[in-house]
Structure 1
């Protein structure tokens, strides 16, 4: 029997109002010393919440008593605010806003499901408590980050819904909506990695640098870390381990994309990606552990370039359309053999547009063929990363990169052979 069936709804709502109001009051008491508390704290906020609840019960239809009470409470809070400015010279509105929110909480309970009211409860308590961390964070954040956030909102919430979901072209099996959705998803993963690397872990060690960089772009991370290993001339095992870890995160990132766009393919690919991700992670971690006694080097700095640049989105979109057309042509004229050949060639370029096209496209091929093409493209991508690491790394790092990628490629090729065998 559910709780709400034997406990009156009004009692539940009253208890929630009292708890919320008291929590706000206790937070205010903790934040301000007694000599600065010109406005009440715990009991006062509790009474404000209870007053709003009682006046709401008086007339739930027109809300007239509730609105009159809101105006009266607002007048008293305005008097308090101007007196605070006069006496203390402080202009902060937090206490006034919290007083009005406390009074209005009962209305939120009435008009919304309880899960939303509780979420609102938690959000207000947290926001009231984290003033200092927010101030510290705002001091560190670059002003350009707000432009970056605005770009992300535009490409996600403005451009995407406006695009047509149908395509009238025989040679292009995906719609403009699908194309831009791929841009949005890849940008979201890159943007999250960028934010974590820049703000959550600004002084990340080599290993964490590779992990976060691999979520953004394993190829870019490989190039930067390889060059850094040559510059420092130290920690060859650690740099090699970091490069391998970036590739491990590539497997994770690609599988996340499969889950988002093609659930049926994700179920078939799961055992293969678990093994490949696990093997690559194990190799990288073993190399890192064996290199812990190496002389410490300066921390590498990955490229903090804005991942949401418009030209990057345009190039990605154009590549997506190009690979869509080429894939459609290859499958139409050469069948699965054409897809296999194309996947091997594409592996030596940027594989994300090609893979997303496979995951999203409606091609006349089996999920077995799609998974094979995906693993073949990954092999080519890993070979090209091995080439970058070999030519750009320091002498000590080269042999460890070769060993690490050798194991990864061996398992990658074995997975493809197993797929073709069964």
Structure 2
């Protein structure tokens, strides 16, 4: 009886997958395979697998799949009206996949078959969007994706997942872990970078500030400040981008913590959350003042998946991690706080990942890691204030300082509370 039930469920699952994909294909008036045909193809895949198991002959499945492919190919070849586009090729491939999913369901992999069926339907349905996406990508964007593939799929698996030394500061440094953090940071930045590139020339201040903050809050701040000084952007528009980019920096840190150290997320969110909330009032005021200012700046942000950038970040992360481990051993937690303050002036990612790594190994309490991250963020906001004054002039610099005051005060309060 259980076997009969499993077979029935497999058959129903196959039919459901075929109906789902067929429903999407039915929308094309030139298609040779619609709702019923796809459902029958999926059922054929399921039944042929059961027959193959009964007669102990895998050839049954192969022959059935060949028949399906040949029949659909012949149907498109003999009808000239279907040669106006490549929908026939897509339909044939989709039909073969549906057949395979029916076979997969019969083999007991129903959940995988359903997931794959939904994925196929989505790919078929969003044809226009996917084609538009590919047309908007430049060779530069494709190279960015390929570089990230090299970072994550080629280099990462080759690195040893063991400490550089059995003891001492280098015991906290694992080549695999260092590069994994490079992949995480590069992945977040690349996703934002590609999105920014795809919306180039028609994105607004909010999109510019948010995506720029994910790619590089420092670069975004510098570009916006310079544009204000040069008259390319109004002070309100520049400050909207600057304040949003640096608020996004706080969100980015929370996202990174959620990925690499989810156990520390509540403590880190309790530290960063108030600062993020207090950053919103000034941002809203500037955004409303910039209404009608037009699109955001189109600064030339550096590709975050660039190999030199990735290696540089990896080296910085490894150095900060080793130094933090040494300070924790020989100086104590206050030494890490000093490192966080200095490192945070230029970059918060390396020190954030370093203290999270020490926290995950038990070398540093989560509360101390949260305090160090808050200190790094506070130092970074102070440095950004100086940067905006230097690059954007008195008006924009004063506006940025005012906008940073409340979140900076919240971070300093958390630092004081955590250090006492």
**Which bin holds the TM-score, normalised by the shorter protein?**
0.7 to 0.9
Residue deviations 1:244-267 (CA, integer Å, cap 9, x gap): 121111111112222333344333
- Show the 5 A alignment for 1:162-201: 162-169=158-165, 170-172=168-170, 173-199=172-198
Shift of 1:126: 1.8
Q: Is the 8 A contact 2:102 2:113 kept in 1?
A: no
Give the structure 2 partner of residue 76 of structure 1: 71
Shift of 1:376: 1.5
Distance 1:372 1:87 in 2: 65
* Structure 1 segments of 4+ aligned residues over 6 angstroms from their partners: 4-7
Q: Is the 8 A contact 1:235 1:297 kept in 2?
A: no
Distance 2:99 2:367 in 1: 59
Say whether residues 1:109 and 2:105 are aligned partners: yes
Distance 1:239 1:10 in 2: 63
Q: Higher mean Cα deviation, 77-86 or 233-242?
A: 77-86
Q: Higher mean Cα deviation, 158-167 or 67-76?
A: 67-76
Give the structure 1 partner of residue 22 of structure 2: 25
Q: Higher mean Cα deviation, 146-155 or 357-366?
A: 357-366
Give the structure 1 partner of residue 46 of structure 2: 53
Secondary structure of the corresponding residue to residue 31 of structure 1: coil
Distance 1:148 1:287 in 2: 33
- Unaligned 5+ residue runs, structure 2? none
Secondary structure of the corresponding residue to residue 367 of structure 2: helix
Shift of 1:234: 5.3
How many aligned residue pairs are there? 412
Shift of 1:21: 2.5
Using a 3 Å threshold, how does the CA distance of structure 1 residues 299 and 87 change in structure 2: closer, same or farther? closer
Shift of 1:150: 2.1
Distance 2:395 2:412 in 1: 27
Distance 2:22 2:180 in 1: 45
Give the structure 2 partner of residue 370 of structure 1: 369
Distance 1:397 1:80 in 2: 67
Say whether residues 1:256 and 2:249 are aligned partners: no
Secondary structure of the corresponding residue to residue 59 of structure 1: helix
Distance 1:408 1:283 in 2: 10
Q: Is the 8 A contact 2:355 2:364 kept in 1?
A: no
Among 293, 299, 303, the alignment partner of 2:296 is 299
Residue deviations 1:56-87 (CA, integer Å, cap 9, x gap): 33332533433332233333234334434698
- Show the 5 A alignment for 1:11-410: 11-32=8-29, 36=30, 39-60=32-53, 61-84=56-79, 88=83, 92-169=88-165, 170-172=168-170, 173-199=172-198, 203-232=202-231, 235-289=234-288, 291-292=289-290, 296=293, 299-361=296-358, 362=361, 364-410=363-409
Q: Is the 8 A contact 2:250 2:272 kept in 1?
A: yes
Secondary structure of the corresponding residue to residue 165 of structure 1: coil
Secondary structure of the corresponding residue to residue 225 of structure 1: helix
Cα RMSD between the aligned structures?
Answer: 2.8
Shift of 1:112: 4.8
Using a 3 Å threshold, how does the CA distance of structure 1 residues 143 and 112 change in structure 2: closer, same or farther? farther
Shift of 1:225: 0.9
Q: Is the 8 A contact 1:21 1:42 kept in 2?
A: yes
Secondary structure of the corresponding residue to residue 370 of structure 1: helix
Using a 3 Å threshold, how does the CA distance of structure 1 residues 115 and 54 change in structure 2: closer, same or farther? closer
TM-score, length basis structure 2: 0.88
Distance 2:129 2:295 in 1: 28
Using a 3 Å threshold, how does the CA distance of structure 1 residues 358 and 96 change in structure 2: closer, same or farther? same
Q: Is the 8 A contact 1:225 1:300 kept in 2?
A: yes
Q: Is the 8 A contact 2:250 2:276 kept in 1?
A: yes
Residue deviations 1:307-363 (CA, integer Å, cap 9, x gap): 111111111122122223332333333222322222222222223222212211347
Q: Is the 8 A contact 2:272 2:374 kept in 1?
A: no
Distance 2:50 2:323 in 1: 66
- Unaligned 5+ residue runs, structure 1? none
